[in-house]
Amino acid sequence: MRAAAFTGFGGPEHVTIESFDDPEPGPEEAVLQVEACSINHHDLWILNGDFWVGEDQLPYVAGMDVAGTVSAIGNDVEHLETGERVLLCPNQTCGSCRFCREGPESHCERFSLYHGGLAEYATVRADRLVPLSDAVDPVEAAALPVSYMTAFRMLEAAEVGPGDLVFVPGATGGVGVATVQLASVLGARTIGTSTSRAKLGRLEALGADHTIESGDPDEIRESVLEIGRVDATINHLGGPFSEVGLNVLRRGGRMVICGQTAGPTSTLTLDDLFLNQKRVIGSTMGTQGDLERLLDLVEGGRLDPVVHERYPLAETDRAFADMADRSAVGKLVVEP
């Protein structure tokens, strides 16, 4: 089979098409013929050499968000048949810690994420596959897992409901776009930021109620407060935007943080935190149940995952180049 593999670390020039042996499933696994796999900043960080993968693991095939058709199943798999259309939940959990037993599984003590979807075939855990109806385009389905699961779980952690005002710094990235769309589904209002007026126009078309064209934290703080204090901040940027996200909350407001794209450390004003009884909550991904609920929203016509562009497998390097230059609004999806 062919796969888009990282053969070195750095830029998209290290993404090349390589040949690998066709995979065979283990006893509890399935092999998918991949129809679509979206890419994420997590994949880009691996390509840049920032995450977990060493030179001894090259060539490395990334890709977490996989939709496809079951082409083979292991001997112990009873709930699947070949030919079924499915979507992979990329969560990798131990199955035995108290969080795996009692939930939520995203708290698993050995939580990790699947990689290997940027290929013609992918070997996956069979119990991580969610049925995909004929009504859902596999490209749209592949847009869901990482970005939309993460946003869905963050909105739940922030207890967002109808009428709430939600602040989304960096709202034109994958998690930001998903947050704006899902907040609208929940009946909440949103404030989104970006340094690009064109991207904000796209965000407004997706349902953002207020937009702020700025990347300056102090300027953003002032602009948000002019609109009004918010019930929740959904923060995938980290860095200096965490202090802003805390400052603009109303009394008793909640900020949920899932990333550190803008930096790994933040300064928080503690008297603002405790005197105003605000909450700061960490969040990673979501659960397989969350993914099933997201698919229900898509099938019911209440959510349209945003896909910026589709790429053939041979142009996976271009997909990573487009992600690196931050020109996209929505997901970049490879179709092997």
For residue 151, give Cα distances in angstroms to 101, 219, 235, 239, 273: 23, 25, 10, 19, 23
Q: What is the CATH number of domain 2-143+305-335?
A: 3.90.180.10
Residue 50: its pLDDT value, please? 84
Q: Global pTM?
A: 0.94
Mind giving me the DSSP string for 11-42? SGGGEEEEE-PPP---TTEEEEEEEEEEE-HH
Residue 101: its pLDDT value, please? 92
Tell me the pLDDT of the chain (336 aa) as tens digits. 999 999 999 999 999 999 999 999 999 999 999 999 999 999 999 999 987 899 999 999 999 999 999 999 999 999 999 999 999 999 999 989 999 999 899 999 999 999 999 999 999 999 999 999 999 999 999 999 999 999 999 999 999 999 999 999 999 989 999 999 999 999 999 999 999 999 999 999 999 999 999 999 999 999 999 999 999 999 999 999 999 999 999 999 999 999 888 888 988 889 999 999 999 999 999 999 999 999 999 999 999 999 999 999 999 999 999 999 888 889 999 999
> For residues 143 and 177, what is the distance between their CA atoms, to the nearest angstrom?
11
What backbone torsions phi and psi does residue 258 show, to the nearest 5 degrees?
Answer: -125, 0
* Fold match flag (2-143+305-335 vs 147-282): yes
Query: Residue 147: which of 113, 175, 173 has the closest Cα?
Result: 175
Residue with tokens 């603009």: 248
Q: What are the residue boundaries of the structural domains of the chain, listed by start?
A: 2-143+305-335, 147-282
> For residues 45 and 192, what is the distance between their CA atoms, to the nearest angstrom?
24
Residue 280: its pLDDT value, please? 97
What backbone torsions phi and psi does residue 50 show, to the nearest 5 degrees?
Answer: -95, -10
> For residues 294 and 89, what is the distance between their CA atoms, to the nearest angstrom?
12
Cβ density class 234-251: b for 16+ within 10 Å, e for less: bbbbbbbbbbbbbbbbee
Residue 327: its pLDDT value, please? 82
> For residues 234 and 190, what is the distance between their CA atoms, to the nearest angstrom?
10
Which H or E element spans position 265?
A: none
78 DSSP assignment: -
CB of 257 within 8 A of CB of 151? no
Q: What is the CATH number of domain 147-282?
A: 3.90.180.10
Residue 59 preceded by cis peptide, ω within 30: yes
